[in-house]
Amino acid sequence: MIFLSLPGWLFLTTFIFNLALVPLLLMKIPVSYFANPRRHGTRPGNKICRIHYALLWTLRNLAGLTLVGTGLIMLILPGQGILTTFPGLFIADFPRSRALEHVLISRPTIFHAINWIRSKKGVEPLDAPT
């Protein structure tokens, strides 16, 4: 039987989680996501819809911040830090997040790695950022 320490179990758990989650999130990015320089969100007018919107916004940001935090930890510990942080930044909604996404996706190595993962899953590659 293999006995692992807490960091060993943390690495193993996050590694398996990332192998399953990161490709799924990268496949969900629309093809023209980076080609469109601006995206505008609208908030619903109905009170029930606003509550639903706020709940989804909170859950989305918690998931994004969890991925970002886990990715930053994995930059120090063994793991896929950059590939975990990147989808977390897409999910989370914070000031200047669009500019940070653009800076990251403008790096050729990151852009080609994402398109490589998408091509392995049979998904159309992303349009180049403008």
Q: Which two tokens stand for residue 124?
A: 């159309």
Residues 6+ apart with CB under 8 A from 5: none
Residue 59 is assigned to a structural domain of this protein: yes
pLDDT over 60 (residue 1)? no
Least confident of 37-41, 69-73, 81-85, 97-101: 37-41
Residue 39 is assigned to a structural domain of this protein: no
Residue 62 is assigned to a structural domain of this protein: yes
Residue 53: the pLDDT is 80
User: What is the span of the domain harbouring residue 59?
Assistant: 6-32+44-120
- More confident of the two residues 65 and 25: 65
Degrees to nearest 5, angle at CA 6 with 58 and 10:
40
Residue 125: the pLDDT is 92
- State the total domains in the chain: 1
Alpha helices in 1-130 (DSSP H): 6-27, 47-76, 81-91, 97-105, 108-120
78-110 pLDDT per residue, tens: 667 777 787 787 788 877 777 887 888 888 998
Q: pTM (2 decimals)?
A: 0.59
